[in-house]
């Protein structure tokens, strides 16, 4: 196995791939410029099918900035390289705007759903609702009657138990007297 040959082959393949991507970026840049579309790093990357990271690398970035300068000749370009913090701030602002838009859309959908549910409730016939109310009222009355009957039975059973306890107490007292009388008579 020739390790050196494999590494050399891989290195050549990576170089060819890099050159191909850079050529695609140049082609995409020329295409966007001819079509008069706004030239941004993201637009060039999408058109070329490469990462935006590549569009910011040295050798590519300068071509994109020159094309942007040609598109807007009145806007002075900064002489220093692009500030990554500014790019991140811009992306953060765009993300916040998208979040606001999504929240507004969610709220609109929620309101539409509430409206639709309200219409469905309004569409229910009043006779069906009246029938349901009557059914629930009858069921409630049955349960009230059962509760009253159970309470009455409980009261009667409690009174019966008290009466039986008195009878039992009297029977015990009578039994004690009989046993005492029997024992004293002997």
125 pLDDT tier (thresholds 50, 70, 90)? low
pLDDT at 129 over 80: no
Q: Measured on CA atoms in the order 9, 11, 14, 19, is the torsion positive or negative?
A: negative
Can you give the pLDDT at residue 179?
A: 92
Mean pLDDT in residue range 124-128:
71
Can you give the pLDDT at residue 93?
A: 87
The DSSP secondary structure of the chain, one letter per residue, reads --HHHHHHHHHHHHHHHHHHHHHHHHHHHHHHHHHTPPP-HHHHHHHHTS-HHHHTSTTTHHHHHHHHHHH-TTSPPPSSPPPHHHHHHHHHHHHHHHHHHHHHHHHHHHHHHHHHHHHHHHHS-HHHHHHHHHHHHHHHHHHHHHHHHHHHHHHHHHHHHHHHHHHHHHHHHHHHHHHHHHHHH-
Residues 20, 30: contact at Cβ < 8 Å? no
Question: Is the whole model's pTM more than 0.75, yes or no?
Answer: no
Residues 25, 6: contact at Cβ < 8 Å? no
| 89 Cβ contact partners less than 8 Å away, ≥ 6 residues apart | none
Can you give the pLDDT at residue 108?
A: 94
């Amino acid at each position: 196995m020739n390790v050196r040959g494999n590494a050399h082959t891989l290195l050549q393949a990576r170089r060819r791939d890099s050159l191909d991507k850079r050529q695609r970026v140049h082609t995409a840049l020329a295409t966007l410029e001819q079509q008069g579309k706004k030239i941004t790093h993201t637009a060039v990357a999408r058109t070329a099918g490469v990462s935006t990271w590549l569009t910011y690398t040295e050798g590519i970035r300068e071509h994109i900035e020159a094309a942007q300068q040609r598109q807007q000749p009145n806007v002075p370009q900064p002489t220093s390289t692009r500030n990554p913090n500014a790019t991140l701030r811009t992306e953060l602002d765009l993300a916040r705007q998208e979040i606001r838009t999504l929240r507004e859309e969610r709220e609109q959908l929620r309101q539409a759903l509430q409206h639709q549910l309200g219409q469905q409730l309004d569409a229910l016939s009043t006779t069906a609702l009246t029938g349901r109310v009557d059914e629930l009222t009858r069921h409630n009355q049955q349960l009230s009657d059962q509760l009253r009957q159970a309470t009455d039975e409980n009261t009667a059973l409690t009174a019966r138990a008290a009466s039986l306890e008195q009878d039992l107490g009297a029977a015990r007292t009578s039994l004690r007297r009989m046993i005492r009388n029997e024992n004293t008579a002997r």
